Amino acid sequence: MIRIHHVDPGLIPMALLLEADPSEACIQRYLSGAFCLAAVQNDEIIGVCVAQSIAEATYELFNLAVYPAYQQQGIGTQLLTALFPRLRKQGATALVLGTGTFGYQLTFYQKLGFRVDAVMKDFFLDHYDEPIFEQGLQHRDMLRLRLDLTENQG
C-alpha cells in the first residue's frame, strides 16, 4: 500500500530527485524551504513532489519524480492530486511549473488541468551544463504551465 504524506526535504534521496531534474545544483537551490510530499511504500520513499511558494498565492512545482520501477502506476497523479488541496489550505490559488515542449510529461500535466502560460526560449540551453535529450530530441525551450487551483477541485 502506498501512503502519501508530508516529508522534510532533507529526507528525500537525491537519486530520486535526479530522476526528474538532472542538475544537483538546481535541486539544491529549490529544495531548501520547499513543501514536499512523498509516496511511501514499505517505509521507502518511491516518489516525491517538491513545491515552493514563489509569489503571493502562487506555488511552483519544481520536482515530481517516481523511481522507474514504480512509474506508470499512477503514483505521480496521486502525489499531485494530494498536493492541490494542501496548497489551497495554505492560501494558494495557482500552481505553476516548467517542462519541455514535448514528451510524456507535457501530456501528463495537461491531463491534470495544467495549461500553457508562456514559452521560455532556450531555457534548457542556457541553464543546464549538459544537453537534455528525450526520444532522440534535445530539449531547448521550456513551457511554463499553470493550474488555477480555484477551478481544479482535484
Predicted confidence (pLDDT) at residue 154 exceeds the cutoff of 60: no
Please give the pLDDT value at position 124.
64
- Count the domains in the chain: 1
Mean pLDDT of 83-90: 96
**Assigned domain for 132 exists:** yes
> Does any domain span residue 154?
no
- The closest alpha carbon to 63, from 94, 103, 31, belongs to 31
In a domain, residue 48? The reply is yes
- 18 occurs within a structural domain: yes
Q: What percent of the chain has pLDDT over 90?
A: 68
Q: Which of 84, 98, 101 is nearest to 149 (CA)?
A: 84
112 lies in some domain? yes
pLDDT in tens, 90-105: 999 999 998 876 677 8
State the Cα–Cα distance between residues 75 and 62, nearest whole angstrom: 17
Within a domain: residue 153?
no
pLDDT at 23: 86
Range(s) of the domain holding residue 117: 3-148
pLDDT at position 112 over 90? yes
Of 81, 137, 61, 69, residue with least CA distance to 104: 137
In angstroms, rounded to a whole number, what is the distance separating the alpha carbons of residues 3 and 105? Answer: 23
Residue 129 domain-assigned? Answer: yes
Task: Give the pLDDT mean for 18-42.
Answer: 93
> What CATH number is associated with residue 80?
3.40.630.30
Q: What is the 3 state secondary structure string of the chain?
A: CCEEEECCHHHCCHHHHCCCCCCHHHHHHHHCCCEEEEEEECCEEEEEEEEEEEECCEEEEEEEEECHHHCCCCHHHHHHHHHHHHHHHCCCCEEEEEEECCCHHHHHHHHCCCEEEEEECCHHHHHCCCCCEECCEECCCEEEEEEECCCCCC
pLDDT at 16 over 60: yes
